[in-house]
Amino acid sequence: MVATRGGPRPEGSALGVDIGGTNIKWVHRAGAVVVARGTLPTPAAGPAQVAAAIAELAEARTVEAIGVALPGHLSPDLRFTTTIPNIDGDWQGYPLADTLERDTAKPVLLMNDARAFASAELALGSARGHTDVVFMTMGTGIGGAIALGGSVLRGPGDRIGEIGHMTAAPGGSRCACGARGCLETVSGGRALAVAWSRVLASRGTADQDRTATPEDLVQAAQSGDTTAREILDTAATAVGTVLGSVLTQLGLSTVVVGGGVAPAFGVMRPAVELALRDRRRLIGPVMFLTAALGPYAGAMGAALNATAQPLAVASALPRLSVI
């Protein structure tokens, strides 16, 4: 089993890249300082174009290694992509590490984006000082990671911790992974947006020029819309049910929540805690921590793991240059 650990402050430099379905986020670390970070649209034409965009980023700055985080699974040797459900193009068997190493002449490390997020939060963020943690990222889908004994577990293909693909609604909607009723089909950002869009369409209040978002749903719930609240409560119950099983299996009671849709968790939390209530005798009270590193956590984790050493983000933030 592969484990990702923190270590001494880094020497040299690394580019960390977090590939999402809409955007690519990146950070450039030089020594112990994050000197630059930025975002660019994810190319829609497929993995070759994504690789070219990353190579261009690397060529524009002085780096010694490249870390790439992706929302999916990798080959057992962590060199090829396999299941990448939420990014356009045919990623099955794509030699991303080899392609980037050929094009940049730099060593490349691939990893799952949730495990990259967890690495950064464990070393530098809200989980710092904790050793045993479950991480949940709420974005288009739902990702997860597990830290035991101060290490983020990865395993063959970087597959450990996929709580978003645990069954929450047996026989439910088809997930991008191929199964039915996965947690992210109920509680992921895309599922929340689709559910709210349907409600607005049924009411005749949908905006034809704009797609509803999870943020719209949360705002409606906070404004007292009972249907919006019911959607979030259903999503929260699913999250609590799955987390309860995970925490019970592992004997853990600390959860870090992050990702672009994580603000919804603030509204969902009471129903999540209600779903966990019957587990209290087994796992005790659950401590929920809000991720501290923001939208660049995955890129930071990728940069961290590119050299297997942590970033000194706290000292870096005043010196960030966004380009």
Collapsed DSSP state (helix, strand, coil) of residue 162: coil
The pLDDT value given to residue 156: 87
Please name which of 74, 97, 73, 253 lies closest in space to residue 164, comparing C-alpha atoms. 73
Residue 147 phi, psi (nearest 5):
-115, 130
Q: Do domains 3-117+294-322 and 128-290 have the same CATH topology?
A: yes
Amino acid present at 206: A
Q: What is the CA radius of gyration of the chain?
A: 19
CA 187/CA 144 separation, integer angstroms? 13
The pLDDT value given to residue 315: 36
The pLDDT value given to residue 208: 82
The pLDDT value given to residue 314: 34
Contact in structure between 4 and 154 (CB atoms under 8 Å): yes
β-partners of residue 322 are 37
β-partners of residue 17 are 26, 68
CB atoms within 10 A of CB 312: 16
The pLDDT value given to residue 11: 55
The pLDDT value given to residue 165: 94
The pLDDT value given to residue 318: 31
The pLDDT value given to residue 21: 83
Domain ranges in the chain are: 3-117+294-322, 128-290
Pairing of β 142-148 and β 151-153: antiparallel
Collapsed DSSP state (helix, strand, coil) of residue 141: coil
Pairing of β 151-153 and β 3-4: antiparallel
Does the pTM exceed 0.75? yes
Please name which of 63, 26, 22 lies closest in space to residue 298, comparing C-alpha atoms. 26
E strand segments, 129-282: 133-138, 142-148, 151-153, 254-258
* Residue-level pLDDT, tens digit, the chain, 323 residues: 444 444 334 456 899 999 988 899 999 988 668 899 999 999 998 999 999 999 999 999 989 999 999 998 899 999 999 988 778 899 999 999 999 999 999 999 999 999 999 999 999 999 999 999 999 999 889 999 999 999 999 888 899 999 999 999 999 999 988 899 999 999 999 999 999 999 999 999 988 878 899 999 999 999 999 999 999 999 999 999 999 999 999 999 999 999 989 999 999 999 999 999 999 999 999 999 999 999 999 999 999 899 874 444 433 333 332 32
What kind of architecture, by CATH, is found in domain 3-117+294-322?
Answer: 2-Layer Sandwich (3.30)
- Spell out the CATH class of 128-290: alpha beta
